């Protein structure tokens, strides 16, 4: 059985105003990952995600690249136990 986990990540760089949240939503949905993505007041983007560990690792790799207009300078991620907090992936506005 696949191992499930969750993470909280904060993405730095030019990540607002470049469709980053939409990019994360599309990638997470394709990977069957649940959670949320939102802009932070300081210009960073926060991602909370849960699902199969391998899918989460793939999502983290994609966060490090971002969409074409983004310039990611850092991704800080903290791993945690799977808590089944989410049933889908949502963009928070």
Give the catalytic positions in this structure.
21, 39
Please state the three-class secondary structure of the chain as a single string.
CCCEEEEEEEEEEECCCCCHHHHHHHHHHHCCCEEEEEECCCCCEEEEEEEEHHHHHHHHHHHHHCCCCCEEEEEEEEEECCCCCCCCEEEEC
């Amino acid at each position: 059985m696949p191992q499930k986990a969750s993470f909280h990540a904060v993405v730095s760089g030019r990540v607002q105003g470049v469709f980053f949240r939409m990019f994360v939503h599309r990638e997470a949905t394709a990977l069957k990952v649940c959670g949320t993505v939102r802009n932070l007041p300081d210009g960073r983007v926060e991602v909370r995600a849960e699902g199969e560990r391998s899918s989460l690792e793939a999502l983290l790799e994609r966060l490090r690249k971002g969409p074409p207009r983004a310039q990611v300078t850092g991704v800080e991620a903290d791993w945690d136990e799977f808590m089944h907090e989410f049933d889908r992936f949502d963009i928070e506005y």
